[in-house]
Amino acid sequence: MSITFDYRAATYGRLSRTRLSNLTNHLQNANNWRPNTLMKSNRWQRQENNTLTFTELGMGTAPLGNLYKAISEDGANATLEKAWEVGCRYFDTAPLYGLGLAETRVNRFLKGKDRDDFVLSTKAGRLLEAVPPGERTGIGKFFETPNRREIYDYSYNGIMRSLEFSLERLGIDHIDIYQIHRPDILAHPQETARVLEDGLASGKIRALGVSNHTPSQIEALAGFLDTPLTVTQPEISALRINCFENGELDQRHTCNWRENWQGEHSSLFQL
């Protein structure tokens, strides 16, 4: 299993130098990157004909959804262009990021690229509904977004609808990695596993992941899946460092997930 780290503002306040040493090395190396220098990558193979190749640094797109401040279309595109220029080929997004805005911006940037040249992940669990401006989700957190509100729906039909809407906003016919954004205590992991497996069988999903799950929640979902999870995306901030100590980051070494990885590394930093 790969691990992507979801960083937010003021990430580093309470993290020790030892805990941040690996990230620091990556960021120092980033200062020396030059255009067209490809990053190191890892490979994950679910089946003989289904292999995903990740760059070790991925780009999270919540800021492209105008998280905390609005950025222009030109600014969003320039950010994506710079990530591509330095070799990044993994992009992570979600319906929640700008209420569909981030997915739409990623679409505009990637639609001219060869589909085999990048890995794209998005997330399930939020349906978006049009509402009057004063009723949209995220007022004061997301700025200048479409007037929509999020609806939590982790039912079979809800996840399938979320998948179809994401495919439409992203302008693609399949998602490389489909992640459950947050666990729903009212949704049984067996039903969640069933819809994910059906998405894989349809060809609309290539690999599976989770975001903001505890170790026990990951284990519960994995227990109902026939297909190994590919990615876990814990949130790390100055207010949340427990994933370093609760076993969440150690799960890449457990069960049968590690056997699917080829190469030296199995962690990925998403900035």
Q: Residue-wise over 103-126: b if at least 16 C-beta within 10 A, else e? A: bbbbbebbeeeeeeebbbbbbbbb
Phi, then psi, of 218 in degrees rounded to 5: -65, -45
DSSP type of residue 81 = H
The residue from 7, 68, 97, 178 that is catalytic is: 97
Tokens 């979902």 label which residue? 221
State how beta strands 148-152 and 126-130 pair: antiparallel
Rounded Cα distance, 263 and 252, in Å: 14
Tracing tokens 């729906």 back to the chain, one arrives at 153
Q: Residue 97 catalytic? A: yes
Three-class SS of residue 58?
Answer: strand
The catalytic site residues sit at 97
